[in-house]
């Protein structure tokens, strides 16, 4: 029986478009951005920020260095946010419904200070709420804060230990096949939605079948 549900953010609560984000960084002068960016796990200094080995300011300085001119925090912020096509509000609302029905929820996301600053702010859903309204901050497991990334097992184990979740009682929802594979290897039940899919009407059926 599923008692716990763990959600990724990008692709699960928001439709993402990596090409838009890369174009935005190219417009800042970062010509070779393709070698750093991936829909699920970033590489190079992009990955270093998402893994927490450099901070947002160090990232900004690196973008400036490679672009050949000073790039501001707001410039980087706008470029990162270009990845978001839209927020799937039905999925966010469904989390509240699931909580009311007794399910425990958590967030497990590869992300960085720029994106987390946005989705934790009151700008997320257009109604004055951040992700903490749906999944409280103490149940949020973010790569740059934990200094480990999916699809590695360590970040999953930190979440399971932090929440005291039993893997077989836990459903993990992520749009990355590699992340799903790791979750399955640890005994979690899984659901792989399409990027930006509204799964709110069928999630309870998925839970029952898990």
Q: Tell me which residues are annotated as active site.
A: 8
Q: Tokens 């749906």 belong to which residue?
A: 134
Secondary structure class of 59 (helix, strand, coil): helix
Q: Element (H or E) spanning 116, and its range? A: helix 113-119
In terms of C-beta density within 10 A (0-12 exposed, 13-18 middle, 19 or more buried), how is residue 173 classed?
A: buried
3-class secondary structure, 170: strand
Q: Is there a cis peptide before residue 176, judged by omega within 30 degrees of 0?
A: no
- Report which of 166, 172, 167 is spatially closest to residue 192, judged by C-alpha positions: 172
Of the candidates 10, 7, 27, the one whose C-alpha atom is nearest the C-alpha of residue 18 is 10
Angle value at C-alpha 73, between 56 and 12, nearest 5 degrees: 65
């Amino acid at each position: 029986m599923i008692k716990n549900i763990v959600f990724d953010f990008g692709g699960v609560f928001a439709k993402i478009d990596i090409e838009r984000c890369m174009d935005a960084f190219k417009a800042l002068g970062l010509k070779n951005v393709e070698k750093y960016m991936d829909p699920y796990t970033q590489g190079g200094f992009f990955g270093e920020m998402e893994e927490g080995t450099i901070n947002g300011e160090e990232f900004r300085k690196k973008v400036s260095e490679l672009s050949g001119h000073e790039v501001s925090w707001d410039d980087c912020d706008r470029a990162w946010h270009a990845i978001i096509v839209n927020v799937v509000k039905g999925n966010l609302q469904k989390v509240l419904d699931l909580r009311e029905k007794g399910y425990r929820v958590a967030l497990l996301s590869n992300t960085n200070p720029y994106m987390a600053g946005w989705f934790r702010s009151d700008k997320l859903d257009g109604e004055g709420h951040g992700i903490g309204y749906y999944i409280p901050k103490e149940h949020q497991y973010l790569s740059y804060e934990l200094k480990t990334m999916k699809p590695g097992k360590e970040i999953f184990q930190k979440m399971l230990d932090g929440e005291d979740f039993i893997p077989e009682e836990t459903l993990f929802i992520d749009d990355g096949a590699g992340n799903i594979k790791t979750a399955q290897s640890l005994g979690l039940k899984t659901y792989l939605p399409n990027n930006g899919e509204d799964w709110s009407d069928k999630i309870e059926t998925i839970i029952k079948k898990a």
